[in-house]
Amino acid sequence: MGSYIGKSVKRREDARFLKGEGKYTDDIKLPNMTHMAFVRSPYASANVLSVDTSEAEKAEGVVAVFTAEDGCGQYGVPCGWQVNFKNGETMREPQHPLLAKDKIRHVGEPVAIVIAETQALARDAAELVAVEYEELPAVTNPKEAMKDGAPKVHDQFPDNMAFDWCIGNDRAEVEAALEKAHHVTELEFINQRLAPNAIEPRSYIADYDVNGDKWTLYTSTQNPHLIRLLMCAFVLGIPEHKVRVVSYDVGGGFGSKIYHYTEEALVTWVSREIARPVKWTADRSEAFLMDAHGRDHVVKSKMGFDKEGHIVAHLTDEYCSMGAYLSTFAPAIPTYLHGTLFQGLYKTPLIHLNVVAPFTHTVPVDAYRGAGRPEATYLIERLVSKGAKEMGMDPAEIRFKNFIEPFDGVNQPGYQTQVALQYDSGNYAPALEKALDAIGYKDFRKEQAEARKNGKLLGLGISTWIEGCGIAPSAVVGALGARAGLYEVGHVRVQPTGKVSVYTGTHSHGQGHETAFAQFVADRLGIPMDDVEIIHGDTEQVAFGMGTYGSRSLSVGGSAIVKSIEKVLEKGAKIAAHKLEASVEDLEYAGGKWTVKGTDKSISFGDVSLTAYVPHDYPQGLEPGLDFSSFYDPANFTFPFGAHLAIVEVDQDTGKVDLKRFVTCDDVGNIINPMIVDGQIHGGVVQGIGQALLEEVVFDESGQMITGSYMDYAMPRADDLPMIETHNTVTPCPHNPLGVKGAGEAGAIGSTPAVVNAVVDALWHLGVRDIQMPLTPQRVWKAMQQ
Amino acid sequence: MRISLTVNGKQYSHDVEPRLSLAHYLREVLNLTGTHIGCDTSSCGACTITLNGDAVKSCTLLAVQADGCEIVTIEGMANGAELHPIQESFKENHGLQCGFCTPGMVMTASDILKNNPNPTEEEIRHGLEGNFCRCTGYHNIVKSIQQAAEKINQ
Ligand code: FES
Ligand code: FES
Residue A496: how many CA atoms within 13 Å on its side-chain side? 6
Cα dist from A398 to A97, A300, A390, A664, whole Å: 50, 22, 12, 19
Q: Give A73's pLDDT tier (boundaries 50, 70, 90).
A: confident
Q: Would you say residue A110 lies in a domain?
A: yes
pLDDT value for B80: 86
Residues A213 and A95 in one domain: yes
Q: What is the 3-state secondary structure (H, E, C) of A411-467?
A: CCCCEECCCCCEECCECHHHHHHHHHHHHCHHHHHHHHHHHHHCCCEEEEEEEEEEC
pLDDT value for A72: 86
Q: Would you say residue A239 lies in a domain?
A: yes
Name the residue range of residue A497's domain. Answer: 487-632
Residues A559 and A677 in one domain: no
Domains contained in chain B, CATH given: 2-76 (3.10.20.30), 85-152 (1.10.150.120)
Task: Write out chain A residues lying below 8 Å of B19, CB-based.
Answer: 120
Residues A392 and A520 in one domain: no
Q: Would you say residue A454 lies in a domain?
A: yes
Proximal ligand: closest to the CA of B36: 1
| pLDDT tens track for A620-639 | 999 999 999 999 999 999 99
CA–CA separation, A566 vs A9, rounded Å?
24
**Ligand 1 centroid distance, CA of B26 (Å):** 13
Q: Give B78's pLDDT tier (boundaries 50, 70, 90).
A: very high
| pLDDT tens track for A33-49 | 999 999 999 999 999 99
**Ligand 2 centroid distance, CA of A532 (Å):** 26
CA–CA separation, B61 vs B70, rounded Å?
14
What is the spatial order of strands in the sheet that A593-596 belongs to? A587-590, A593-596, A602-604
Q: Would you say residue A453 lies in a domain?
A: yes
| pLDDT tens track for B84-108 | 999 999 999 999 999 999 999 999 9
- Ligand 2 contacts (CB < 6 A) are A 199, 252, 510; B 96-102, 133-136
| pLDDT tens track for A541-591 | 999 999 999 889 999 999 999 999 999 999 999 999 999 999 999 999 999
Name the closest-CA residue to atom 2, ligand 2.
B98
Last residue of a domain, one of A579, A610, A632: A632
Strand ranges, E, within A321-440: 351-358, 415-416, 422-423
Is the distance from CB of A775 to CB of A713 less than 8 angstroms? Answer: no
Structural domain count of chain A: 3
Residues A79 and A224 in one domain: yes
Residue A710 Cα, gap to closest chain B Cα (Å): 6
Residues A454 and A500 in one domain: no
Instruction: Give me the amino acid identity at A645.
Output: L
| pLDDT tens track for A605-624 | 999 999 999 999 999 999 99
**Ligand 2 centroid distance, CA of A590 (Å):** 39
Q: Would you say residue A328 lies in a domain?
A: no
| Residue A243 main-chain phi, psi, to 5 deg | -120, 125
| pLDDT tens track for A746-770 | 999 999 999 999 999 999 999 999 9
Q: Is the pLDDT of residue A782 over 80?
A: yes
CA–CA separation, A34 vs A24, rounded Å?
18
Chain-centre distance for alpha carbon A228: 20
CA–CA separation, A463 vs A268, rounded Å?
46
Instruction: Give me the amino acid identity at A496.
Output: P
Residues A118 and A248 in one domain: yes
pLDDT value for A786: 86
Residues 6+ apart with CB under 8 A from A73: A97, A98, A235, A236, A262, A265, A266, A269
Is the distance from CB of A358 to CB of A146 less than 8 angstroms? Answer: yes
Residue A511 Cα, gap to closest chain B Cα (Å): 6
CA-A251 nearest atom, ligand 2: 2
Residues A612 and A666 in one domain: no
In chain A, pLDDT over 70 holds for what percent of residues? 100
Last residue of a domain, one of A632, A660, A679: A632
Residues A499 and A594 in one domain: yes
Instruction: Give me the amino acid identity at A293.
Output: H
Domain at A450, CATH number: 3.30.365.10
Residues A522 and A557 in one domain: yes
Task: Write out chain B residues lying below 8 Å of A199, CB-based.
Answer: 36, 38, 44, 46, 98, 100-101, 132-135
Cα dist from A302 to A40, A418, A757, whole Å: 43, 17, 17
Longest dimension (CA), chain A: 87
A677: closest chain B residue by CA = B94
Residues paired with residue A318 on neighbouring β-strands, in sequence order? A299, A355
The angle formed by the CA atoms of residues A740, A519 and A545, to the nearest 5 degrees, is: 65
| pLDDT tens track for A355-383 | 999 999 999 999 999 999 999 999 999 99
CA-A710 nearest atom, ligand 1: 4
Q: Identify the CA nearest to A551 among candidates A264, A201, A258, A226.
A: A258
CB atoms A19 and B34 under 8 Å:
yes
Q: What DSSP string runs through A8-45?
A: -PPPTTHHHHHTT---BGGG---TT-EEEEEEE-S-SS
In this structure, how many other beta carbons lie within 10 angstroms of the beta carbon of residue A158? 10
Name the closest-CA residue to atom 1, ligand 1.
B37
Q: Would you say residue A193 lies in a domain?
A: no
| pLDDT tens track for B100-147 | 999 999 999 999 999 999 999 999 999 999 999 999 999 999 999 999
Which helix (DSSP H) or strand (DSSP E) does residue B152 occupy? Answer: helix B139-153
Residues paired with residue A37 on neighbouring β-strands, in sequence order? A114
Cα dist from A195 to A255, A562, A594, whole Å: 11, 36, 53
Q: With H, G, I as helix, E, B as strand and everything else as coil, classify residue A682.
A: helix
- Angle between helix axes B85-92 and B102-115 (nearest 10 degrees) is 120
Residues A385 and A449 in one domain: yes
Residues paired with residue A633 on neighbouring β-strands, in sequence order? none
Is the distance from CB of A661 to CB of A646 less than 8 angstroms? Answer: yes
pLDDT, mean of residues A266-288: 98
Q: Give A2's pLDDT tier (boundaries 50, 70, 90).
A: low
CA–CA separation, A603 vs A616, rounded Å?
16
Q: Identify the CA nearest to A523 among candidates A677, A332, A673.
A: A673
Q: Would you say residue A336 lies in a domain?
A: no
Pocket-testing residue among B25, B35, B43, B74, ligand 1, by greatest number of atoms within 8 A of Cβ = B43
Domain at A204, CATH number: 3.90.1170.50
What's the whole-model pTM score? 0.97
Cα dist from A29 to A251, A279, A286, A527, B31, whole Å: 18, 9, 21, 38, 9
B139: closest chain A residue by CA = A723
Q: Identify the CA nearest to A784 among candidates A767, A657, A649.
A: A767
Task: Write out chain A residues lying below 8 Å of B27, CB-based.
Answer: 27
Q: Look up residue A556 and give its DSSP letter.
A: I
Proximal ligand: closest to the CA of A284: 1
Last residue of a domain, one of A586, A605, A632: A632
Proximal ligand: closest to the CA of B42: 1
**Mean predicted lDDT score pLDDT of chain A:** 96
Query: To the nearest 10°, the Cα dihedral for B135, B140, B146, B148?
Result: -80
**Ligand 2 centroid distance, CA of A139 (Å):** 35
B125: nearest CB among A13, A512, A718: A718
Residues A648 and A585 in one domain: no
Q: Identify the CA nearest to A459 among candidates A755, A767, A773.
A: A755
Q: Would you say residue A323 lies in a domain?
A: no
**Ligand 2 centroid distance, CA of A512 (Å):** 12
pLDDT value for A188: 98
CB atoms A683 and B135 under 8 Å:
yes
CA–CA separation, B17 vs B115, rounded Å?
34
pLDDT value for A1: 43
CB atoms A284 and B133 under 8 Å:
no
CA–CA separation, A364 vs A353, rounded Å?
23
In this structure, how many other beta carbons lie within 10 angstroms of the beta carbon of residue A641? 29
Q: Could you tell me if the CB of B113 is within 6 A of ligand 1? A: no
Residues A619 and A687 in one domain: no
